[in-house]
Structure 1
């Protein structure tokens, strides 16, 4: 081992209860912790079941909180959020439902438009050319926004910037 003493299944359950009480966790995160603590597979299943039964862990609730946080604070697009939830082994139906529930389409597009406008202004505003626009588009797609929606927002942002310059 690595010098750490092994912990009992009861102690592991206690630790996870405290962890889940502090912030939302998903089943996959908890399972990985238990494996890292060298808890027996049969005990892992029992601990996870106990946590679910007592609502310490709920993957649907976790998915909604994850979507809210990544959208509101990280300004991630839907694609990046879906990939993040997938990496945590949240079923795609659960992930999509959380996105539909937590992200208003109009607010999503306005956030994307704001990001496109801000980034385009940083790279030259009305004088931004093809290269600058391509950089902005790449950054929006990398942030997880859908390409077609990002192109639409970029065009609208460029139009707005041009109109602002005409004033």
Structure 2
């Protein structure tokens, strides 16, 4: 062994680590800053509900007081607004996904929104009265305007509409309307 080399090169590091003063727990301000950093990063991806942000912070081990303070600040700055979130969710799912009100309501409840807020958002939906026509349009997209050949295809249409969240009575009526529309096209 050469005299220049230390027999245990990591020994100095261990000695320094043992001699380092114990770290103080983070202050309330530091914990809040950490919670806000996590929340902003979570909100950067898409809008979230208050419940989603709370769950995200709790999952990451943020203490309850910091969660409350961070959520309070986000509400005050209007980064969180459950009413706005619900309204946009309804509009987007109708317009972009072609969903019926049952699936929209289920999706809103899964984000942690209370039932009264979900009901208000659905009641304010400008397309609520057009649900029958939206269901017919969903069938038109699914079958590319082609007539339904048999009961098997009608069942596929019903499954499509049920999956999209349309009530069964609306789905049956939409199947009949779609078949009439296809027959009118064929006759015309």
If the TM-score is normalised by the length of the shorter chain, which range does it land in?
0.7 to 0.9
CA RMSD of aligned residues (A): 2.3
- Within the candidate set 140, 156, 159, 2:177 is matched to 156
TM-score, normalising length from structure 2? 0.75
Aligned partners of 2:122 and 2:128 also within 8 Å: no
Aligned partners of 1:83 and 1:134: how far apart in 2?
A: 23
Aligned to 1:74: 97
Deviation at 1:156, TM superposition (A): 0.5
How many Å apart are 1:21 and its aligned residue? 6.2
2:131 paired residue number: 108
Bigger relative contact order, structure 1 or 2, given CA contacts below 8 A and separation 6+?
Answer: 1
CA deviation after TM superposition for structure 1 residue 78, in Å: 0.7
| Shift of residue 118, structure 1, vs aligned partner | 3.3
Q: How far apart, CA to CA, are the structure 1 residues paired with 2:140 and 2:94?
A: 18
Counterparts of residues 132-147 of structure 1 (less than 5 Å): 132-147=153-168
Deviation at 1:120, TM superposition (A): 4.1
Aligned to 2:109: 86
**Deviation readout 1:67-103 (Å, 9 max, x if unpaired):** 1111111111110110011111111221121122233
Deviates more, 1:107-116 or 1:135-144: 107-116
Largest Rg, 1 or 2 = 2
Q: 1:12 to 1:158 in 2, by over 3 A?
A: same
- 8 Å CA contact 1:117–1:158 kept in 2: the answer is no
Q: Distance in 1 between matches of 2:161 and 2:89?
A: 20
Unaligned runs of 5+ in 2: 1-25
**Stretches of structure 1 lacking an aligned partner (at least 5 in a row):** 1-5
Contact 1:67 1:99 survives alignment (8 Å): yes
Q: Distance in 2 between matches of 1:126 and 1:54?
A: 53
Runs of 4+ in 1 over 6 A off after TM superposition: none
